[in-house]
Chain A
Amino acid sequence: MDKNRFFFQHYGLTERNLEQYLASALSAGGEYADLYFEYLSSTSLSVDESIVKSASQGISAGCGVRVVAGERTGYAYTDDLSPERILQAARTAALIASGPAKSPTVGFQEKAARSLYPVTLPSVDADINAKVELVMRADRAARAYDPRIKEVRTSYADELRNILVVGSDGTFAEDSQPLARLNVSCIAKTEGNSARGSAGGGGRVALDFFFGEKTPDYFAKEAARQAVLQLDAREAPAGEMEVVLGPGWPGVLLHEAIGHGLEADFNRKQTSAFAGLIGKRVASEKCTVIDNGTMPWRRGSLNVDDEGQPTQETVLIEKGILKGYLSDKLSARLMAMADTGNGRRESYEHIPMPRMTNTYMLAGQDDPQDIIRSVKRGVYAVNFGGGQVDITNGKFVFSASEAYMIEDGQVTAPIKGATLIGNGPDVLTRVSMVGNDLKLDEGVGTCGKDGQAVPVGVGIPTIKVDRLTVGGTAKKETGSFMQ
């Protein structure tokens, strides 16, 4: 890894300073203290009505100081990286503990880190005119797709986050994390009817990704296709039925139904519907679910997490059996389990907690066509908006934005967006078929927890869930209480 020592160079930090800050953080005791330095630069551009209406750039920098004493966490941060202000933050965070001063480990140890996103020129530093070309090209491509496409908005955003994490246990980790994303949303209109479509993608990639692998035209056509398709969508059914999920982004099911419930903090506090289920069956034998922060170039990947721990591949469910939780340093220590490198935070203003990275289900044996053919009457959902979960009772939802009816083994008419609702701990026990077509999403996911947003990835092969409640409006075949 390139030892660029960003904060040493730009802010004149020294190891001596860092030791002093940590000593101050532990001046009233506590088991552990760490410092998280962050320097974030970002760019965004947007096109509306075929003109570049807005362009912005920004810089935000700061340092967060954390002191952990038992289950207690003291936290303070500063956006001024002068020694006086960092020491002041350290003394504030220290107030959580009340005991004799502790000494941090002398000497830092930098662990060998991966290089999952070795960009030569971070996109934030790339020519702004090339970014303008991206958003303008996307606009033209969406409009050219079909004359019914009337409104198009395209946007591009990138950032480069330089971080340094040092801990009183000798942790020393630096990383430089690029992130870029292109988005297209459009509205198709006909006489008396309109519909929307959106698509986007990116990752921890350089700008050339959008000129080679995934072009603006690719995302634009996808957004336009969805909008035009939705013009003819009919009402979605309501009630329990067979649901087939297409590959890729529908993996958001795993994120909501399983992932959050397996974050270690909820299980340590026994507030998750999954608490105490390690070693128990929570899914059908065909399901193996992984969280993996080590996938090159991906949006959810990190060389080290926001506590300086290298990320890893963690098996959450193996052939239906719950294997493990996603943990950060605090939960790992309190639960006497391994730190899985899932301690993440939105920024220096936030306390880290266990979060997902890239969460997906391994491919199975079934041919996706056979899966669809096996359904008498059900829903085939291929694209989703967001989702949400109540980790305590396990209920989760996710909203289909592109879905079709399956009738007698055939995919038939497109249906309007509908929310799917289920129960996390048992939805995967009803997975009866798993396709051989695992696909990861395009790189658009952002996960929110306790008000903190972090980029994540999801993936899934085509799967069949034998029973899931679909929240449509179609009146046919439903019981009814009438007044």
Chain B
Amino acid sequence: MSPVELETRSSKLETNHKELAQDIVRRAMNSGATAAECVIREGDEFSTLVRLGQVETLKESGSKAIGVRVFNGKRAASTYSSDFSREGLDRMLKSALELSRITSEDPYAGIPEPEQLGSISGDLDLYYADVYSLPGEERISYARRTEKAALDYDPRIKNSEGGSFDAATGHKVLANSHGFVGEYRRSYCSVAAVPIAQNESGAMQRDYWYSVARSLSRLESPEHVGKTAAQRTLRRLGARKVKTAHVPVVLDPLVARSMLEHIFEGVNGDSVYRGASFLAGKLGAKIAAERVNVIDDGTMIGGFGTSPFDGEGIPTRRTVVIENGVLKSYLLNSYTARKLGLQTTANASRGLAGTPSISPGNYFLQPGSKTPQAIISEIKQGLYVTEFLGHGVNLVTGDYSRGASGLWISGGELSYPVEEITVAGNLKDIFFNISEIANDLEFRGSVACPTIRIDGLTVGGE
């Protein structure tokens, strides 16, 4: 293989990342690429963990990395580097051009069409410098207060994995050879507590709670977070096993999210075109109960899954995935859209290397009208799940079997904690068997789900 000749270097090394990304794209094109795309990611992180009142770790750093994807006709390759020196960037570009000779022709490969590219306008409310505004001692104090609130809540809270305060900012730049260039910044901060409770017999239980926000001013108080963590932990004390049973199962919002994630994996274009999803070929078909409406919206102001453009430079949008139980849309990037003869839903997610994958924007199940308490009160015997363990989900067949713990529902009330049990069924049935959706939708991340009730599952125990 003859070596790639790089175009002669530009005289100065770009330090502005937008211009650097455009420069890399231009040099790739001038060195023989037929299309090119460059991404630069830069971030800062701060974290502190306080355990039993003492600072345990303090971490503070920043990093950046650059990646390029080049096309040689219908062949694609990508490289990345954390080395921004002239030599580092040259090597990255040269390797990408050379690699693009050994991949196969893929008729569907390419970057999006020029008319698809763009960015949604307006302030999306994603970046607040205040996440870093606290002086060092104040940050530690946030972590300390969160843990203290948990430890002070009840004498049975005897130990702790700590209270934490984290902050991070990220800056992302994307440029491609159709002239697209865009950038955005996002900020994030969180407090969390992980208390451990112990009863007279010595048995321990651990749980957690957290608050996350784009701005420090929107973070829940450390005291509230710590207290909630303590309550969640205490209610697990004295957990027992149950007999194998077929009973209604209620999922709390944190674990209900996982069901929504299984739908996401099922409508992910990458699994769909391969027929590797239990939802492949089901567009327009009823796949869930009538009450189920699932939305993906990358445009929500201030959302954890919001961005002005996706990983390929296409403006984000709102997509109805499931409407009244009917599958309305898959979630796609431009490659899987071309494979399936559909339009992209702007869900491309671009890492530093490889082809763009697919990830959700703000993705949620529309809430119902009942309170979680009302839903529980209608169940004579059942399981309220607060934690799933393990990964026993087969997306090809829909087979579902996971470890679980939670609270037993008896006579319409949460009665006692249970653990070391399994919950099993098949996803094809599970979504039809969502018999209640509560009104408690709340975003604590880009995926959110209210409390839901599912019938027809097998609870495995003694």
The answer to whether A419 touches B99 (Cβ under 8 A) is no
The answer to whether B57 touches A388 (Cβ under 8 A) is no
Q: Verify if B258 is at the interface (C-beta below 8 Å from A).
A: no
Stretch at the interface among B282-290, B293-301, B414-422: B414-422
Question: How far apart are A246's CB and chain B's nearest CB, in angstroms?
Answer: 18
The answer to whether A390 touches B104 (Cβ under 8 A) is no
The answer to whether A393 touches B82 (Cβ under 8 A) is no
Question: How far apart are A452's CB and chain B's nearest CB, in angstroms?
Answer: 13
Residues of B within 8 A of A472 (CB): 401, 424, 458, 460
The size bracket of the interface on A is 35 or more
* 24 A–B pairs (Cβ distance < 8 Å), ordered by A: A54-B77, A55-B103, A58-B80, A72-B57, A74-B57, A75-B60, A78-B63, A96-B55, A150-B275, A238-B424, A239-B462, A269-B51, A273-B204, A386-B390, A390-B389, A395-B405, A396-B389, A417-B401, A419-B403, A421-B390, A470-B422, A471-B424, A473-B425, A481-B247
- A419 CA / B394 CA spacing, docked (Å): 11
The size bracket of the interface on B is 35 or more
The answer to whether B102 touches A128 (Cβ under 8 A) is yes
Q: Verify if A168 is at the interface (C-beta below 8 Å from B).
A: no
Residues of B within 8 A of A236 (CB): 401, 424
The answer to whether B274 touches A51 (Cβ under 8 A) is no
Residues of A within 8 A of B106 (CB): 51, 53
Residues of A within 8 A of B241 (CB): 469
Closest to A185 in B: B276
- A387 CA / B108 CA spacing, docked (Å): 37
The answer to whether A469 touches B77 (Cβ under 8 A) is no
Q: Verify if A140 is at the interface (C-beta below 8 Å from B).
A: no
Q: Which of B81, B244, B246, B247 contacts A59 (CB 8 A)?
A: B81
Q: Verify if A336 is at the interface (C-beta below 8 Å from B).
A: no
Query: With A55-B77, A421-B420 as given contacts, are A392 and B205 in contact (CB-CB < 8 Å)?
Result: yes
Residues of A within 8 A of B390 (CB): 386-388, 397-399, 419, 421
Q: Verify if A105 is at the interface (C-beta below 8 Å from B).
A: no
The answer to whether A79 touches B63 (Cβ under 8 A) is yes
Residues of B within 8 A of A58 (CB): 67, 79-81, 352-353
Residues of B within 8 A of A96 (CB): 55, 58
B384-439 contacts to A, CB under 8 A, are 387, 389-392, 394, 396-397, 399, 401-403, 405, 419-426
B interface list, Cβ under 8 A from A: 51, 54-65, 67, 76-83, 88, 91-92, 95-96, 99-100, 102-106, 109, 136, 159, 161, 196, 203-206, 236, 239, 241, 243-248, 274-276, 352-355, 379-382, 387, 389-392, 394, 396-397, 399, 401-403, 405, 419-426, 458, 460-462
Question: How far apart are A7's CB and chain B's nearest CB, in angstroms?
Answer: 14
- A195 CA / B275 CA spacing, docked (Å): 11
- Across the A-B interface, the 5 shortest Cβ-Cβ residue pairs: A471-B422, A397-B403, A51-B104, A397-B390, A392-B206
Q: Verify if A112 is at the interface (C-beta below 8 Å from B).
A: no
Query: With A187-B276, A418-B392 as given contacts, are A54 and B80 in contact (CB-CB < 8 Å)?
Result: no
- A386 CA / B403 CA spacing, docked (Å): 12
| Apart from A194-B275, A396-B389: 8 A-B pairs, beta carbons within 8 A | A56-B354, A57-B95, A58-B67, A195-B397, A239-B461, A351-B57, A385-B391, A392-B206
The answer to whether A76 touches B61 (Cβ under 8 A) is yes
Closest to A389 in B: B389
A interface list, Cβ under 8 A from B: 44, 48, 51-62, 71-79, 89, 92, 95-96, 128-129, 132, 150-151, 153, 187, 189, 194-196, 230, 236, 238-240, 269-271, 273, 349, 351, 385-390, 392-393, 395-399, 416-419, 421-423, 469-475, 478-483
The answer to whether B206 touches A393 (Cβ under 8 A) is yes
Q: Which of B60, B382, B396, B402 contacts A92 (CB 8 A)?
A: B60
The answer to whether A480 touches B245 (Cβ under 8 A) is yes
- A238 CA / B421 CA spacing, docked (Å): 10
Most buried by B among A71, A390, A419, A478: A419
Query: With A53-B103, A77-B61, A271-B159 as given contacts, are A59 and B403 in contact (CB-CB < 8 Å)?
Result: no
Most buried by B among A95, A386, A421: A421
- A53 CA / B462 CA spacing, docked (Å): 48
Residues of A within 8 A of B401 (CB): 236, 399, 417-419, 471-473
Residues of A within 8 A of B274 (CB): 48, 151, 153, 187
Q: Which of B83, B91, B379, B387 contacts A61 (CB 8 A)?
A: B83
Closest to B54 in A: A71
- A473 CA / B402 CA spacing, docked (Å): 11
- A73 CA / B50 CA spacing, docked (Å): 11
Most buried by B among A55, A61, A73, A422: A55
The answer to whether B396 touches A196 (Cβ under 8 A) is yes
The answer to whether A392 touches B204 (Cβ under 8 A) is yes
Residues of B within 8 A of A418 (CB): 392, 401, 422, 424
Residues of A within 8 A of B394 (CB): 196, 416-417
Q: Which of A53, A194, A386 contacts B391 (CB 8 A)?
A: A386
The answer to whether A483 touches B61 (Cβ under 8 A) is no
